[in-house]
Structure 1
C-alpha cells in the first residue's frame, strides 16, 4: 500500500480532522452538493494558508490540490515530515518556476479529474490581502471545459481572522464552509473563442462564490504576496 494512502485516513480521521473540529468548531453546510463519485472541481475563495487544510479535512471525499514544489524538497526530519503531511492531505507538487508551469499545472489537475477524483482550486490564485474577493484567473474554467467535470463553488469563512498574514500558527476560533450547487460548463467553448469562454465561465464561478461568502468583490487580480511563504 502506498504511504500516502495510509497517512491520509490517519490525518483525516484520527489526528488533524478531530483536532480541527475542536480548535475551529467548523460550521459546514451544503456537503450534499459534493458528488459522491466521479470527477469534481471545488472552487473556493482563499483567505489564509489554513484553507489548504480546511477543504481536505472537512469534505468527505479525498481532495487533491496543487502546492509548491519546495514543500516536498526539505531536508532532515522536519523536511520529510512536512512533505509527508502535504502528500497525505492530497497536495501534488508543481514546479512553478519554468515557462511551461501553467501548462504543467493544468495537465496535472486534469489527470486527477480524468481518474474520477476531486480537485480543489482557488481561482483568485493567491490569498486575499484584505478579506475581499478578487477577480478569478481562468485556469478553473479551462480545467472545467477540458474535462467536463462539474464545478462546486465553496466559500470559506473566518480563516483570515484566525490566521492573518504573517501568523504561522492559527489561533482557535470558529470557521465556516458553505458549499453551493454544482455548475456544469462542458461545451461552453463550442463555437466561442476559448479565451472569451474561459473568462465568462470564470466570472460565473466567482459570482457563485461571492453569493455564498458575501464578500465584497474586486474586479481586479489580487496582488501576490512577496517572500518565500507567499501563495
Structure 2
C-alpha cells in the first residue's frame, strides 16, 4: 500500500519535470516472478524504471540509504527496497538470497548486472549474479535499457537537471543450465548483456566497470 501511495503521489511530478518514454512495458508479466536486468547510468535508474512498470519492482540498496538522510530512508522503505550491508564479506550472496526470496514470492526484482554505474556511458561486462539468479529460480529475465538518466543526474551531481528519460524493456529471456556451473553463469550473463546492448545501443566494454568508493 505504501508503494502504491508513493508512486501515485510522485508519478505526476516526475513525469512533469522529466518526461519519460517507455517501450516494451507489455513484456512485463501481469503476475509471477521476473528479473529486470538493466544497464546502470545513474542512481535515478531505480526511480524511473519502477515509474513505468505497473507492478512493484524491488531492488537492493546499500544500508546507508536506510540510516542516513531521513527523507531518503523513508522513500526506500515506502518503495519496498531491500537494505544490504555492502561491507559484509557475504554481501554478494546476501543480495542474491534476498532477490531469490522476492522471486519465489512471485515478485519483480531489478538488478544491474554491471554491478555499478557506468563511469562514461558505455556498457560494461556483466557480473554473473544475474545468471545465478535466473538459473537458480527459473524466473525469466527482461533486459532493460535506460537512457537520459545520466544527463538528468550525472555521477557526482547532487541536484537533478531537467531532461528526458527513456526506458526500453525487451522480450523475456529464459535459460537452461546449472547455477553451480561457472560456464553456464558466464554464458547466460553474456547473452543478457548482449541484449541490453542491442536495446541501448551503448558501446560495449569487455572489462568490468571500475567501482567508485561512494557508488550505489
TM-score range for the pair, normalised by the shorter chain length: over 0.9
Any residues of structure 2 matched to 1:75-114 within 5 Å, and which?
78-79=69-70, 81-114=71-104
> Superposition RMSD on alpha carbons, in Å?
1.2
| Structure 2 residue 15 is matched with structure 1 residue 21 | yes
Post-superposition CA distance 1:162-184 (Å, at most 9, x none): 11111112111111000100000
Post-superposition CA distance 1:146-194 (Å, at most 9, x none): 0000000000001111111111121111110001000001x3228xx61
| Structure 2 residue 209 is matched with structure 1 residue 222 | yes
- Among candidates 4, 20, 24, match of residue 9 of structure 1: 4
- Separation in 2, partners of 1:87, 1:138: 28
Shift of 1:40: 0.3
Moved over 4 A (4+): none
- Separation in 1, partners of 2:153, 2:67: 25
The residue that corresponds to 1:148 in the other structure is 138
Are the counterparts in 2 of residues 45 and 209 from structure 1 also a CA contact under 8 Å? Answer: yes
The residue that corresponds to 1:166 in the other structure is 156
- Separation in 2, partners of 1:226, 1:11: 30
Name structure 1 gaps, 5 residues minimum: none
Post-superposition CA distance 1:52-110 (Å, at most 9, x none): 10112221110000000111123xxx42x321201222310011212111111111010
- TM-score, normalisation: structure 1: 0.90
Moved more, 123-132 or 101-110: 101-110
- TM-score, normalisation: structure 2: 0.96
* Number of residue-to-residue matches in the alignment: 216
| Structure 2 residue 159 is matched with structure 1 residue 134 | no
Larger-Rg structure: 1
| Structure 2 residue 178 is matched with structure 1 residue 189 | yes
